[in-house]
Amino acid sequence: MARKYAEGTKTPEWKSGLEITQMLKKHGCTQVATFDDDRGNTFMFALHGLTYRITLVMPDTDKQEFKAEQGGPWGKRGTFLEAKYQAEVQRLWRSLVLVIKAKLVGVADGIETFEQSFLPYMVTGNGQTVGESIIPQMQEGAALGSIPSRLALPGVS
């Protein structure tokens, strides 16, 4: 099986968070903030009058990969593996650094605008992100057949 990106990283979460904050500020973002909530760690930032929110969802501690089986005459019970869980959290933070860095490189190179790159994370008037609002609608449309399921080439019907 192929290794996951950043598997085995020793970079602590706070350092990855600081790196993300510095990248965003370098590209002109203001009001950069990070906070923990019941889902994970969230970055919020603003640029050109628009607000963005990216949440890094933390792994579920009940996953089997974070449990060790301990045997005994009365059966087995799972024990939480803190070190393994923490390693996965650090790996996910490094993945988020990579994703944001790639988006900012695309913006800096003129491949897309900041707004195009971060559109799914743009916060709308109802407090949802564009992605949270639009993706379920698009999935429903695809399931109902009202959205084309074939590649749609420009100018070809």
- Please indicate, yes or no, if residue 23 is contained in any of the structural domains: yes
- Please indicate, yes or no, if residue 134 is contained in any of the structural domains: yes
Domain count, the chain: 1
Decide: 102 and 109 in contact? Cβ < 8 Å.
no
Q: Which among 64, 52, 135 is positioned nearest to 100, based on CA atoms?
A: 52
Q: Look at residue 76 in the predicted model and tell me its pLDDT.
A: 55
Q: Look at residue 95 in the predicted model and tell me its pLDDT.
A: 98
- Please indicate, yes or no, if residue 41 is contained in any of the structural domains: yes
Query: In which domain, by residue range, is 117 found?
Result: 13-144
How far is residue 89's CA from residue 148's CA, in Å, rounded to a whole number? Answer: 38
pLDDT digits (tens, 9 = 90+) for 101-118: 999 999 999 999 999 999
pTM greater than the 0.75 cutoff: yes
Could you give the residue ranges of the DSSP H alpha helices within the chain?
A: 13-26, 82-108, 114-117, 130-144
Q: How far is CA 139 from CA 33, 42, 150, in A?
A: 31, 25, 14
- Please indicate, yes or no, if residue 5 is contained in any of the structural domains: no
